[in-house]
Chains A and B, each alone.
Chain A
Amino acid sequence: MTSGPENIEQTPSPLVAALQREHLEWFGEVIVALGETTFIVPREHIVAACTFLKAFPEARFDFLADICGADRGVEEEPRFEVNYHLFSTTKYHRIRLKVLLNEEDTHVGSVTGVWRTANWHERETFDLFGVIFDGHPDLRRILLPDDWQGHALRKDFPLRGYEPYSLK
C-alpha cells in the first residue's frame, strides 16, 4: 500500500465503533478495505439509518455526495446494489452505505426526505438499473427518453442495438 494522504482512513474507527454501539442491527455488517468503510445496511432500514447518520453528533453526515447503482452480474443473488456515499462538511469524513437488492424485488426506500439532492441521483439509478425508490416525489427517467424499454446499465442490456431508436 502507498503512504500518500489519499489512503488515510476516510472513516475514523472510533466512529465505526460508536455507530455499531448505537444501532448494531443497521451497522452490523462492515467492510473496511483500501481505507474506505462500507456498511451493508438491510434494505428496510436504509432511510432510518440515513436519518440517524445525518443527525448523530459524532457522524454529522450532512452531505450526500453520490448514489450509484451497480449490477453484480446476471447470475448473482442478490443481483443489484445501491451505494450511498456520505460526507460530512464539518468533520470531513466519508462513509459508504450499501443496500443489496434481489432481481425480483428492486424496491428500496427513498432518502429524498433526508437530503434533497438524492432526487436526481435516485432518478438516475432508477433510469439505468430499474431500482424503484419508494416515496420518491418524482420518479421518472432522467437520462434516457420516457418511452425507453429496459434499463441500460444492467449487465444483460446489450452495448449495441440493432435498430435505430426513434421517438414513438
Chain B
Amino acid sequence: MSSATIPPQFEIVDRPLDTQMTISMGPQHPSTHGVLRLELVLDGEMVVKATPDIGYLHTGMEKLFEYKKYQQGIVITDRMDYLNPLGNNLAYVMAGEKLLGLEIPERAQTIRVLMCELQRIGSHLVWLGTHALDIGAMTVFFYCFREREKILNLIEAASGGRLTPSYFRIGGLMMDLPAGFENRCRQFLEAFPRALDEFHKLLSGNKIFQRRTQGIGYISAEDAIDWGLAGPCLRGSGVALDIRRANPYCGYEKYDFEIPTEADCDVWARYMVRMREMKESHKIAVQAVSRLKPGPTKADAPKVVLPDREAMKTHMDALIHHFLIVAEGFDVPAGEVYFPIEASKGELGVYMKSDGGPKPSRVHFRGPSFVNLSALPVMSEGEMVADIVAIIGSLDIVLGEIDR
C-alpha cells in the first residue's frame, strides 16, 4: 500500500470559478471535534492542499500557570485534554515531584496506574464512538458512551469530579479510594471484555467501515517519526514505541502488557491499534486492582502535602502546615525538568521550570494532539474530501489540548 499522491500535472491555483477551489472546513464543522478550521484546496473531490488553522480555543493556560501556585495549576491541566484529565494531572504532578525529589508511596503509585488506565479506556471509547459517528455508524456511539459512563462513575466515586477530577496531587493523591471502590472496579473490569467484543462485532467486520478506512490517510514509519507522531498514531505505522516501556514511570515496568502495533500505516491500522490497546489497558487495570495493598497514599513531606483532617484537629504543626500550604504555597527548588508520560493520545510531556518560589517560572505542555494534527497535511493531501473526516477521527485530537 503506497500513499495517495497528487498526480504531477496538477498545479495548485487559487482562482475562483477555476477548476480548483478553496473551501474552509470548520470551525463549526461537527467532525472537526471542536473548533478546528481546515483550509482545503480542492480539485474536484481531491484535496490538493490542506492547511490546519488552530487557536480558536486558546485561553492562555501556559500564561496562567505562571500566576498560580503549584497546587492551583493542577485544576488547569484538567481542562487541556478534557478526555484524559487524569493523564494531564499525572504528567503535571510528576514533573513537580521530580523537582521536589519526593518519593511516592506504593499504594498511591498503584492507584495512579489504575485510574490512568481506566481513563485511557474512557478516552478511547469517546474516540471510537465519535470516529464511527463521523463515518456514519451511529449505533456504536451509544454503546461506547454506555461503557464510558461506568468509568466516569468510578472516577467520580474516587475524586468527586467526572470530567475534571484533579485527583492526583503533588506528593500523592487527593484522598484514598472510597470504601467499596475495589469491588465496583472489579465488576466493571469483569464485564468490560464482553463490551469490547461487542464493539468489534459492530465495526471491525463491517465492510463499509473497512472500505472507508483501509488505505486512507497513509503515513510511513519514517515520516511518522519525522513528524513527531506519538502514541497510537505512531504504533499504527508499525513503530513499537510506548513511553510506559521506553522511560517507565509509576512502576509501569512491573506490569505485564503488550505494545500493539499495526503495519498498514492507515486509518484502519490506527483503529485496530486503539481497539487492541483497550484490551491491554484492561489487562493493566486488572493487575493494578490485584496489587492494591493498604498503605499511605501521600508522601511523607509535611511542608508540601496537605495533612489529614484528623491530624489537623489534634496536632498544632499539622494545622500550621495546612495554613501555610494553602495561604502561601510551598517553595520548589530551582531547576527545570521535562517529564514525558504516555497519555491516551501519545507522548504528553511537561516542561516545568522553577526559580525557587511557590509559583512556576514556566510550564509548557507538549500536547500529543498538537503534534499529531501538524502531520494532517501529509496524510490528507491526495485523498478525497470525504476521507478527511475519517483521517481527523483517526488522529483522535482534542482541541483543548492543541490550543491550550
Residues of chain A touching chain B, judged by Cβ–Cβ distance below 8 Å, are: 1-7, 10, 33-36, 38, 62-66, 68, 70-72, 83, 85, 87, 89, 92, 94, 96, 115-117, 119-121, 128, 141-145, 152-153, 157, 159
Contact = CB atoms under 8 A, between A and B. Distances in A.
B58 A144 contact: yes
A65 B287 CA distance: 30
A5 B248 contact: yes
Contacts of A2: 101-104
A68 B335 contact: no
17 contacts: A4-B251, A5-B251, A6-B249, A34-B98, A34-B335, A66-B338, A68-B351, A70-B362, A89-B241, A92-B247, A115-B228, A116-B226, A117-B226, A143-B403, A152-B60, A153-B62, A157-B63
B225 interface: yes
A36 B247 CA distance: 13
A10 B63 CA distance: 28
Nearest to B364: A68
Interface string B99-114: 1011110000000000
Given A66-B351, A68-B366, A145-B55, A89 B98 contact: no
B72 to A, nearest CB: 14
A128 to B, nearest CB: 8
Contacts of A33: 335-336
B148 interface: no
A89 B242 CA distance: 10
B239 interface: yes
Nearest to A31: B336
B349 A65 contact: yes
Contacts of B227: 116-117
B239 A159 contact: no
Given A70-B353, A142-B55, A159 B335 contact: no
Interface string B219-230: 000000111100
Bin chain B's interface residue count: 35 or more
Contact of A4 (B55, B103, B337): B103
A33 to B, nearest CB: 6
Contacts of B349: 65-66, 85
Contacts of B362: 68, 70-71
B204 interface: no
A159 B64 contact: yes
Among A1, A115, A120, chain B packs the most CB atoms within 10 A around the CB of A120
B69 interface: no
Contacts of B75: none
Given A83-B351, A96-B338, A89 B374 contact: no
B371 interface: yes
Interface string B56-98: 0010101110010000000000000000000000000010001
B55 A65 contact: no
A117 B233 CA distance: 14
Nearest to A92: B246
A6 B347 contact: no
Given A142-B55, A159-B64, A120 B337 contact: no
